[in-house]
Structure 1
Amino acid sequence: MDIKTASALHRLRLISVPEALSFPALLIFGTLLSWLTGIDYLKMPLGMLHGILFLIYSVFLLDVWNKAKWPFKKVALFFLLSLVPFGGLYGEKLLKREEADSVMAARARREAANAA
């Protein structure tokens, strides 16, 4: 794996946790706060923050798709995980495993090239 692909995977991993937690933490909290206190002006900024995180996640996912040459099924899985509350946490776990496997494969290729 080249450095651009590794950095794209790492960026996707970094944004997946905040995006996964933004739905329950921001949207549900904002809605409950609105219902309990009658303060409606917090829902829009909290919803917008969640939307921005989702858009960043989607752009990073497309970047990984382009650079890592993932099959469509894998990209669709990560997109669907971003739609499920806390699904991005499982996606981050999968990304961590993918990143570790790719690092090990790159080291094995490098050692094989040095041994030859």
Structure 2
Amino acid sequence: MNDDTPELPNTTRRRALMLGAVGAAAVVSIPPALASTAASISTCEIPVPDSGRAGSYIAADGTVVPAGTRGAFAPPGRPFKGEEVKTALAGGQLPGTNYEQSRAYTNYIRRLQSGTSGFTCFASLQMPRG
């Protein structure tokens, strides 16, 4: 037999242990990343409307209209937290609003586009969680 034969099982075992250690480190690092994402979702904010259109009203379909437009809603007094929006998008209601206001504001949020204040927060709400 070859001199390498006795070392083969030890080498294989060592490699398996090293791979297991690497795999365990990867598993341990995933939950903190998810926790960080969850924390950022609950603390991120979505202004309605964005600061570039502050003072404008929100129509029932979520479009931004001039202040005082009949049937439109004045902006809320503060930005909504990501967790509040997540709840509203799942069928709940935004805090401090009635049904119609909440629906108009969530329609506005659904229309957010890249580059608009609050878009990154809204996009993170759409990401599936593992």
Q: TM-score, normalised by structure 1?
A: 0.30
Which protein is richer in helix relative to its size?
1
Which protein is richer in strand relative to its size?
2
Larger RCO of the pair (alpha carbons < 8 Å, separation 6+) = 1
